Amino acid sequence: MSGSGAYHIIRPMNVTVVMPAYNEIDTIQTILQRVQQTGIPQEIVVVDDGSTDGTRELLQNLHDDQIRVILHEKNMGKGAAVRTGIQNAKGDVIIIQDADLEYDPRDYPDLLRPIEEGLTKVVYGSRFLGGARRSLYFWNMVANKLLTFMTNILYNNILSDMETGYKVFSRDIVKDIPLRSRRFDFEPEFTAKILKRKIHIYEVPIRFNPREYSEGKKIRMKDAFEAVWTLIKYRFVD
């Protein structure tokens, strides 16, 4: 580290963006363009999770060497799609990017910087640390904060946003972690197993533009109950 206080970037990173997609015909092209416009990822692995609205066909007709498309024959859930993407990623660092427009790829430099500087191997983009955002559903926010609070109690941590979709991590830390979740319980499972291994999570503020249920938002309140069970279960088993 120099006398100016700047951190030394350890090495250049190859970045893979893993993008699970299910029935995102209205947004998939736009989000792929936004990811590519950052100039950051070396590859984008899109996992179509059995879409029936034309997303699958659109992806199959892409001719772009930067984008790899993997098809699930049937809908298996977001967690299963993310796991498939991780298993097929080639980059040193993986960014999970939802296929809607809630999360903004312009945040990639801030998300990657703590890893580049050697501060951590896992970064979460927090929706609750003061970044620009459109107003949230009140009860969704309450559920998010309660789940995060529960995570902090069970795993002795001080996260502000466990359920964030922006999770960035070095690929080498997950190769030996068994991930089993198939649905939205991926978020608490991943967090629980990272924290149980005493891996520090670095949070940075991000932009957030939540979509309406009428626009295709898929997570429901019942998923919060599944997340509670997941947090408790993985506190005691692996």
Q: What φ, ψ does residue 149 adopt, rounded to 5°?
A: -60, -45
* Mean pLDDT (whole number) for 55-65: 95
What totals of helices (H) and strands (E) does the chain contain, helices first?
A: 7, 7
- Confidence band for 1, pLDDT divided at 50, 70 and 90: very low
Residue 166, pLDDT score: 97
* Mean pLDDT (whole number) for 107-131: 94
Domain ranges of the chain: 15-236
> Is the per-residue pLDDT at 8 higher than 60?
no
> Is the per-residue pLDDT at 139 higher than 80?
no
Q: What value does the CA radius of gyration of the chain take, rounded to a whole number of Å? A: 17
Residue 140, pLDDT score: 75
Residue 182, pLDDT score: 85
Which residues are paired to 203 by β-bridges? 124
* Mean pLDDT (whole number) for 48-75: 96
CATH of 15-236, one of 3.30.300.30, 3.40.630.30, 3.40.430.10, 3.90.550.10: 3.90.550.10
- Confidence band for 221, pLDDT divided at 50, 70 and 90: low
SS3 state at 82: helix
> Is the per-residue pLDDT at 130 higher than 80?
no
